[in-house]
Chain A
C-alpha cells in the first residue's frame, strides 16, 4: 500500500488538520508516513500545500515527485487546479467548491467549475453547506477529509479514532460535529466515485 497525497488550500484554512487526521489514522494502521508542511512567510493568506505520503514500506523522499500524486485533497477549488502537474494520470481530485477570494484577480467561479468538470477523476463538494448542516461551518475541512477517505485505503475505525484524537481536547460536542461532517463528506464522495 502506498499513497501520495497533495493537500492544498489557503493559509489558515485547516489543511494541516486534515494532514494530522490522515497521520493519526496511518499510525493506527502501523503505516510509514512522511508529511512535508509549509511554515513561515507563505502561511500568511498565501497558497499553501502539504506533501503527505503513507506506505506499508519505508519512504525515501519527503517530497512527492511530479506526476506521482494519487490524490489532491483541496479545501479550495482554484488551489486544487494549481497542483495538476503533481497528479498521476489515474489520480483523483477531492475538492471543496467554495472559493476563498482574497486576491483582486480571482477568476469567475463558473470558469473554475467548468475547468474542474473537465477533470477525469474528481469529487466536488459544497463543503461549507454540508458543514453548516452538520452544525458548524468550521468543520468544512473535515467534510473534505471525509470525502477523501474512500480513496485513502484507510479503515473507517482508524479515521474515526484520528478525529477523536485531534479534537478530543475540545470536548465531546466538537468531536461529534466533526465526525458528523466527515461522515457526510464520505457519503457524498461515495456517490461520485
Chain B
C-alpha cells in the first residue's frame, strides 16, 4: 500500500481525488487553503479532468458544488469556519434539496483563533442543517472519511460535513492510500423538482430530511467511526470527539487506559451508545475541541443527572483548543513543565513584510487624515489587518469579509465625515462589491481604499478574482470615473499620494482610491521562477 507524507488538508484533497470527485470549490482561508492547492497541483486538475479553480467567495463555491452534485457528479467544497457563515444560506438549504452526486463540505475550524476572528464550531452548522458530520481524529481518518463521506452522501442523498481543526489540518504524517474510484457520469435527479424549494415542495422534503435522522444515527455506528470501547474502570466514562481522542491516548502512552471510551468520529451520535456509557459509568468526561456541544446536550438545561465534566465545569478551559496538557489535567494526571520563559524574551507578533505596498498606502492615508480626529477608518480581513497594530495603527475595525465598506456607510449615515474604508482586492470581490453598490445607490459620502496587491496575500498568494478589473467593476457599479483614483504606493510618491487621498476625503460622494503594487511575496516568487527558467 502506498504511503504519502501529507498534511491533514492534503489527506482530504488526496482522499477526494481518489474518491472520484469532478470538482473542488473554495475560497482561501486558514486553515483550509491547502486542500484546493493540493488538488490544483494534481495530474487530474492539470489534465482538466477535475475542476479546481478558486471561487469569488464561499457562497458561490457552495452553490457551484451543489450544482455539480445536481448533475450527479461528486463535488467537494472547502472553507474556514467563518466561511460557513458566508455559505450558510446555500448550505442550510442544500440539506433540504438533498444531494444527487456526492457532496462533501469541509469546514476547517480554528479554536484558539490562530488566524481568525472567532472560534465558532462548525458542528453546530451540521446539526442546524440536520446533516451528518464527520470529525477525523487523525490524517489517515481524514483520508478514509473523505471517501466514506461521498459514499454516505450518495447513499442517503444528503450533503455531508467534514469538520476539522487547525492542528489536524496543518500537521503532517504518513497516510496510506486506497484505489482510485472513477468519476460519476452526468445523471440528473429523477425528480426534476427535487431542487425547487417552493414552499409546498420544501415542506415535503424537510419532513423527509427529518425522517432520515434515525438512519443517519445508524450510519454513524455502522461505519465504526463512532464506537464504544469498553473498559473495566467504570468510575469515569470518556467521550472523545475528533482530535480529542489523540490527546486522550497521548496521556496513556505508558499505561493502559481502563475507562470506557466513546470515540466520536461521526454525528449524529447514536443515542444508544451515549445511553450505554451513561448507564455504565458514575461520571462522564467530554473531550471536544471547540464548543461544548456534546457536553451541553448531555447536561441538559437543568444538569440534574450524573456529573458531566468538560469545558462547562472547569475540568477543561472554556475557550481555546485542547492539547495533551489540558486533557491530561482533566484526567487528574500530573503534567510536567520545563523551565519558565526567561524575562528577556520579547513578543514577536506578526507584521507586514519589509517592502509591503500596504505599508506605503497606509502611511499615506495616516498622513492625509492627519488634521481630522482619529477613529474614522474601517478595516477588513487581510494582511492589512495587521496595520491596526503599531507602528501604523491605521484601522479602527475588522469584523468580517467586506464589512469595511458597509460599516463606513453606516458611520457616514450617522454623520461621520470623512468615513474611510480599507479593503484588499480579493476581499473586495469576495464581499465588498455589494456594499459599494449600496454606497452608489445612496450617494453616500465615503472614501474607499481598495489596496490592490493583485493577490490573496494572507493565505499565501492565491489568485485574486479582482485581478485586472477593479476599475471596470467600480465604474460598472456606478462610481463616477473622476473619483476612481489609482496610486502607486511607493515611498518616492508619498507626497503626491497624500495629496490625492486628501482631495478625495473632502469629496462629498463615493470615491474609490486604488493603491496598486504587487505583493512583495508573490513578486519574489515570480522572480525566482523566472531566474530558474
A and B: real partners? yes
Determine which of B7, B335, B339, B345 lies in contact with A87 in the assembled complex, contact meaning CB atoms within 8 Å.
B339
B325 touches A65 (CB 8 A): yes
Bound CA–CA A40/B32 (angstroms): 10
Given A38-B170, A66-B336, A107-B350 contact (CB < 8 Å): no
| Option from A46, A65, A68, A81 in Cβ contact (under 8 Å) with B351 | A46
In the complex, A87→B336 CA distance in Å?
10
The answer on a CB contact under 8 Å between A34 and B171 is yes
Q: For the complex formed, measure the closest distance between the CB of B79 and the CB atoms of chain A, giving whole angstroms.
A: 14
Determine if A63 and B323 form an interchain contact, defined as CB atoms under 8 angstroms apart.
yes
Residues of B within 8 Å of A37, CB to CB, are 7, 170-172
Inter-chain CA distance A43–B5, complex, in Å, is: 22
Among candidates B173, B339, B342, B345, residue contacting A33 with C-beta atoms closer than 8 Å: B173
Question: Are B344 and A61 closer than 8 Å at their CB atoms?
Answer: no
Contact B351 A45 (CB under 8 A): yes
In this assembly, does A123 line the interface, its C-beta being within 8 Å of a C-beta of chain B? no
Count of chain A residues near B, Cβ 8 A: 51
The proximity string for A residues 147-179 relative to B, scoring 1 for CB distances below 8 Å and 0 otherwise, is 000000000000000000000000000000000
Cβ of B349 < 8 Å from any Cβ of A?
yes
Q: Is the CB of B174 within 8 A of A27?
A: yes
Does B348 reach chain A (CB closer than 8 Å)? Answer: yes
Contact between B341 and A60 (Cβ–Cβ < 8 Å)?
no
B383 at the interface (CB under 8 A from A): yes
Give the interface centre of A10, A35, A69 by most chain B CB atoms within 10 Å.
A35
Interface residues of B in 336-394 (CB under 8 A from A): 336-342, 344-353, 383, 386
Contact B459 A40, beta carbon cutoff 8 Å: yes
Q: Are A89 and B338 in contact (CB under 8 A)?
A: yes
Q: DSSP class of B's interface residues: helix, strand, loop or mixed?
A: loop
Check A44–B351 contact: CB distance below 8 A: yes
Work out how many contacts link A and B, with CB atoms closer than 8 A: 152
Q: What chain A residues lie within 8 Å of B350 (beta carbons)?
A: 11, 41-46
Contacts of B170 in A (CB 8 A): 36-39
Given the contacts A33-B172, A84-B342, A89-B338, A42 and B114 also touching, CB distance less than 8 Å: yes
Closest residue of chain A to B33 (Cβ to Cβ) is A39
Contact B172 A23 (CB under 8 A): yes
Interface members, chain A 59-109 (any B CB < 8 Å) = 59-69, 78-79, 81-82, 84-89, 91, 102-103, 105-107
Q: What residues of B have a CB within 8 angstroms of the CB of A103 in the complex?
A: 346-348
Does B303 touch A at the CB level, under 8 Å? no
Within 8 A of A (CB), among B246-276: 246-247, 249-250, 253
B48 at the interface (CB under 8 A from A): no
Q: Is B324 an interface residue (CB 8 A)?
A: yes
Flag if B346 contacts A106 (CB, 8 Å). Answer: yes
A89 to B338, CA, bound (A): 6
How distant is the Cα of A44 from the Cα of B342 in the complex, in angstroms?
24
Give complex CA distance A62, B142 in Å. 14
- Min CB distance, B62 to chain A, in Å? 22
Query: Known: A34-B173, A62-B167, A89-B338. Is A111-B344 also a contact (CB below 8 A)?
Result: yes
B328 close to A65 (CB less than 8 A): yes
Contact B30 A67 (CB under 8 A): no
**One of B243, B346, B353 near A45 (C-beta < 8 A):** B353
B115 close to chain A: CB less than 8 A: yes
Contact A63 B324 (CB under 8 A): yes
- Which single residue of chain B is at the shortest CB-CB distance from A170? B532
Q: Are A67 and B346 closer than 8 Å at their CB atoms? A: no
**B451 to A: closest C-beta gap in Å:** 15
A47 within 8 A of B: yes
Q: A61-B250, A65-B325, A115-B344 are in contact. Are A91 and B30 (CB under 8 A)?
A: no
Q: In the bound complex, do residue A85 and residue B250 qualify as a contact, i.e. CB atoms below 8 Å apart?
A: no
- CA A68 – CA B247 in complex, angstroms? 14
- Contact (A32, B348) CB under 8 Å given A40-B114, A44-B353, A84-B338: no
Instruction: Give the residue name and chain of the A residue nearest to B34 (CB).
Output: A39
Task: Mark B159-173 against chain A: 1 for CB-CB distance below 8 A, else 0.
Answer: 000000001101111
Q: Would you give 7 A-B contacts (Cβ < 8 Å), ordered by A?
A: A10-B348, A39-B30, A44-B383, A62-B168, A67-B338, A84-B338, A85-B341
Residues of B within 8 A of A (CB): 5, 7, 30-31, 33-34, 114-115, 167-168, 170-174, 243, 246-247, 249-250, 253, 323-325, 328, 335-342, 344-353, 383, 386, 458-460
The 5 closest A-B pairs by CB, nearest first: A40-B30, A40-B115, A46-B350, A67-B336, A61-B250
Add 11 more A-B contacts to A35-B171, A38-B114, A45-B348 (CB < 8 A).
Answer: A36-B170, A36-B172, A37-B170, A41-B30, A42-B114, A42-B350, A60-B253, A61-B249, A62-B168, A65-B250, A68-B336
